[in-house]
Structure 1
Amino acid sequence: MSESPRPAPGGQRWVRFALSTALGLALVAALFWFGGVDANELGRTLARLDPLVFLGALALHSAIYIARAERFRVLLPEQHRPPRASLLAVTSAHNLAVYVLPAKTGEATLPLYLGRTCGVPAAESIASLVVSRLFDLAALCACMAVVTLALCLGAHWEGPLALGYAAVAAFAAGAAVFLALAARGDVLIAPLQKFLGMLGLGARIEKHAGSLKVALRTAGHGRVRGAALALSFVVWLLIFAFYGVLAQGFGLPDGVGFLHASFGSSVAVLMNLLPINSFAGFGTQEAGWVLGFRWVGVPAEISLPGGVGVHLVQLFDTVLFGVVGHVLMGLARRK
């Protein structure tokens, strides 16, 4: 019996393009539907912002995506490193899923996207993701320790000084812990196996535990670790610049400068990094924004409108990059 002819590669490519684009649009639709986002309000908020400020923030956001993609690439073994353009498309689509889905469940899309689009094995993809997130936490804690100390020594810290210095110590300790875990991410496998075992999923990770341990050791080792850590600080400096430019663009009281905006926005970022964030970060990001700016002397009635505006600009950028990423993934040749 003769085999039935296979679909032409070109046809398969356009089917993947249609499916990937549809998935990206579905995520955007879910964001507007379940997140209660008003498209008209989004447009009005963007219209209030100086176009040059918006374009500057968009350029900074683009640089953040490029630096993050490069960090993922550095953490992958050389034989599995995809072209930079392909990886940027994947990480842009992945970031849309992370942003839209609650409790960080969108993180699971990275191994799926990297495997299907770039042919990267699951163990290496997961290791790159885990170590990059640990470096994120280490760099964020280190930056917050420095910023908090600077504010405690200045005139704009509104909380008790003892609390400020305690926060400095806690952030410094957190940076050290997360850096150590990034260097030896394989020690996380055992507790992860135990946790998944309680959910009845232990056998699944047991099958890949050995290769995942090796991948985690490789991703957090030596020169790779140094390059990834340096890129992590670049990422977070760009993030603070992005939030600072927008916060000042939407208006802050006199005397509240970039350092204060960095601290206020960092609390909002910390809220979104934790696996407690709501759908698209709505509510949790604003709560962190108000709390952070309150500690530097900006009342909620002033900080909250700007925080919502910043969130909407971030939403616009994330949707734009994510949809473009899905389109490019759909057009890419399957590895």
Structure 2
Amino acid sequence: MTLSTTLKRLFALLCSAALIAWFVLGGDREAQLAALGQRLARIDGLQLAGLIAAFAATYLLRAGRIFDEFSHFAAPPTQPLRADPPAEGAGKVLGRPGDFSAGHVRFASILRLSLIHNAMVNVLPFRSGEATFPILLNRWFGVPTARAIAALLWLRLQDAFVVLALAALVWPDLPAALRAMWIAAVLLAAWGIPHWARNHDALLDQASHSKFGRLVTKFRSALAESTHGAGRSWLWTLANWSLKLVAQAWALSLLLGASLQSGLAGAMGVELAAILPIQGVAGFGTYEAGGAALLRTHGIMLADGLQACLILHLFVIACALSAGALAAVLLPGQSPASSSTTENTHA
């Protein structure tokens, strides 16, 4: 483990410890619990059902975005699944629609993968749950490791770009010129990464004989495949985040007895904290601090903001774990073609 990784993990532990210290030492624990209970009581059964339905819809939108990218990924029955691409013919294993049988990957299987991945990301420390995504893509659908990792990277980059662009639109008291520059920088990065992947520098081809050159070329090719349907994936991502932010804003406004605009500021704060490279364990500490910081710009006291964001965080984790558990029990894992191929391979 490198020094930088160790320092990041220590900082993550400190962030979570700070939240625990605030809750335990910031006053009478019974009073703190009573305050949390009073805030939670502001949400009635119908509103709670609406929030759960909204989060369920975001899960479907996220799964739809992944399904749109990987619905063609099913190995032909005569071809065994491979964990990694062979030395030659790498273009065929990157999953172009013409190289794999279409229609074998079921949406239910992708939904199961997405929900399990979401649950793991929410509870495992130090973002280690992210590994679930490429591992399950490879095991269930035969997606090569490099392709799966590139897909995860592009998925998270799209999330970050959308959150950053929306943050620029709603950030309070931001000069118009700076707001425009912020959005332009996000749009430039969102365009530049797929453009680089699809139109790589010719120098990489010349350096492909080196180990580093082959690695970069392989990853660029995988990223180019992942960004092939970028237009549709942007629509899926925008729909998902618009609904998710509105749902979280609604929850915070109910918990705080504040306006939806104030709730939106808090929702942007928790999501901006969620994309930071350093976070608390399972997000605890940084998540609440990010939301409370932006709620302060709307006159919400820090303690009130921390309480509301803590409840929201627990609700998000409860939804993620419940959905992940139901998916693991009720939804199919492998597609029929992948399952039969795996059986033939082990025979």
TM above 0.5: yes
Any idea what the Cα deviations from partners look like across 1:274-316, whole Å, max 9, x if unmatched?
Answer: 2211111111110001101111222213322211111111111
Q: State the secondary structure of the residue aligned to 1:78.
A: coil
Paired amino acid for 2:242: L
Query: Which piece of structure 1 moves more, 46-55 or 273-282?
Result: 46-55
State the partner residue of 1:52.
46
Q: Which residue of the other structure, out of 175, 183, 196, is the alignment partner of 1:172?
A: 183
Q: Equivalents in 1 of 2:324, 2:192: separation in Å?
A: 30
Identity %: 27
Counterpart mapping for 1:68-83 below 5 A: 68-76=62-70, 78-80=72-74, 82-83=105-106
- Counting helix residues as a fraction of each chain, which structure ranks higher? 1
Runs of 4+ with >6 A deviation: none
Paired amino acid for 2:62: R
Query: Are 1:99 and 2:119 counterparts?
Result: no
Query: Are 1:299 and 2:306 counterparts?
Result: no
Query: Which piece of structure 1 moves more, 67-76 or 163-172?
Result: 163-172
Query: Are 1:230 and 2:235 counterparts?
Result: yes
Q: Equivalents in 1 of 2:157, 2:323: separation in Å?
A: 24
State the partner residue of 2:255.
250
Q: Which runs of 5+ in 1 are unaligned?
A: 1-34, 149-156, 191-201
Q: Equivalents in 2 of 1:59, 1:100: separation in Å?
A: 21
Query: Are 1:144 and 2:155 counterparts?
Result: no
Q: 1:65 to 1:108 in 2, by over 3 A?
A: same
Q: Is the 8 A contact 2:253 2:262 kept in 1?
A: no
Size of the alignment, in residue pairs?
Answer: 270
Q: Is the 8 A contact 1:53 1:249 kept in 2?
A: no
Q: Is the 8 A contact 1:264 1:289 kept in 2?
A: yes
Query: Are 1:215 and 2:222 counterparts?
Result: yes
Paired amino acid for 2:244: I
Query: Are 1:129 and 2:152 counterparts?
Result: yes
TM-score normalised by L of structure 2: 0.68
Q: Is the 8 A contact 2:279 2:286 kept in 1?
A: yes
State the partner residue of 1:273.
275
Query: Are 1:259 and 2:257 counterparts?
Result: no
Q: Is the 8 A contact 2:161 2:186 kept in 1?
A: yes
**Greater C-alpha Rg:** 2
Q: Which runs of 5+ in 2 are unaligned?
A: 1-18, 24-32, 75-101, 202-209, 343-347
Q: How far did residue 56 of structure 1 move?
A: 0.9
Paired amino acid for 2:292: V
Q: Equivalents in 2 of 1:276, 1:110: separation in Å?
A: 20
Paired amino acid for 1:251: L
Any idea what the Cα deviations from partners look like across 1:50-69, whole Å, max 9, x if unmatched?
Answer: 11121111111111111111
Q: Is the 8 A contact 1:185 1:220 kept in 2?
A: no
Q: Equivalents in 2 of 1:318, 1:166: separation in Å?
A: 39
Q: Equivalents in 2 of 1:91, 1:59: separation in Å?
A: 17
Q: 1:171 to 1:53 in 2, by over 3 A?
A: farther
Q: How far did residue 47 of structure 1 move?
A: 6.0
Query: Which piece of structure 1 moves more, 125-134 or 310-319?
Result: 125-134
Q: Is the 8 A contact 1:134 1:182 kept in 2?
A: no
State the partner residue of 2:109.
86
State the partner residue of 2:138.
115
State the partner residue of 1:193.
none
Q: How far did residue 169 of structure 1 move?
A: 4.1
Q: 1:289 to 1:83 in 2, by over 3 A?
A: same
Q: Equivalents in 1 of 2:63, 2:233: separation in Å?
A: 11
Q: How far did residue 327 of structure 1 move?
A: 3.1
Paired amino acid for 1:217: A
Any idea what the Cα deviations from partners look like across 1:309-331, whole Å, max 9, x if unmatched?
Answer: 11111111011112223335786
